[in-house]
Amino acid sequence: MSNDTNYALLNNSRFYILVSTFLLSVIVFGWLRLQITSDQLFYIRLQQVFGLLCIVYWYVALIISPLGYVIGKQRLRHIEFARRAIGVSAFYFALLHAAVALWGQLGGLSQLSYLPSLFQWSLAGGAVSLGILFIMAITSFDKVIKIMTFRYWKWVHRFVYVGGVLAILHIWSVGTHLSYSAIQVSALIALIILSGLETYRLVTLLARKSEELSGKLYFWVIFASIWAAWIIAITGMPALIQSYHGGGSGSHEKATHGNVH
């Protein structure tokens, strides 16, 4: 490898994000192993932490682009450049989360058939979400984008929102930590902020194509209306979805499978 290549690598923020992601996974594994003696509890906590880290990285990757429409693309150009590595890190933690849950907690794919139907559907949605993250990760390289062309690459990467919705459904339906009100409120606020920023980006793009929306009054009325609809949908969604911790599953199933997530 030439000196120029080494220099470019060591001055690339994506490189440091990916390295720090790997080191973080090793630190989490080691720290939890030292703190928890029970193997089963260790696997439970490990997959929970990896799942949380996946969501955090995924959320950051999603919020960067719409945030640029509010505070300026130029100000976020360095973070925008690093976003692909952040997305790859989200896939990495999602893969670790799935591996630990399936082979650490459950004991392999053959054990899936013994789970309640709620868990099977939830894990299926999580698997599709993981697949979408995988596609996002392998198409995050410059050479791949050049082959696909930026237009088609951008179209494919819009599926990340589909994966995000499936991940939310997966977490809500079987994630036991969501039984805590503080976590529910934090997740709700995070989703409302993200929906608000995405709505602002959407209305801004529409305003560039429509003279009527270019006026401040129309702009903010449309923005407030769409955002209000998102808030209603986000806050109302939990009541419409069967949840392990919300009483949707039978008490016998809870007692038998309470440590799956």
The token duo for 221 is 């009325």
Which range, of 64-78, 133-147, 168-182, averages the lowest pLDDT?
168-182
SS percent in the chain: helix, strand, coil, step 5 = 85, 0, 15
pLDDT at 219 over 90: no
Report d(CA 137, CA 128) in Å as an integer: 14
pTM for the full model?
A: 0.84
User: Are 132 and 162 spatial neighbours (Cβ–Cβ below 8 Å)?
Assistant: yes
Question: Structural domain boundaries of the chain?
Answer: 3-178+249-257
pLDDT at 139 over 50: yes
Report d(CA 224, CA 218) in Å as an integer: 10
Could you read off the pLDDT of 165-214 as tens digits, one per residue? Answer: 899 888 888 776 666 678 788 889 999 999 999 999 999 888 887 776 66
Report d(CA 174, CA 234) in Å as an integer: 18
pLDDT at 30 over 50: yes
Which pLDDT score is estimated for 141? 85
The token duo for 177 is 């930590």
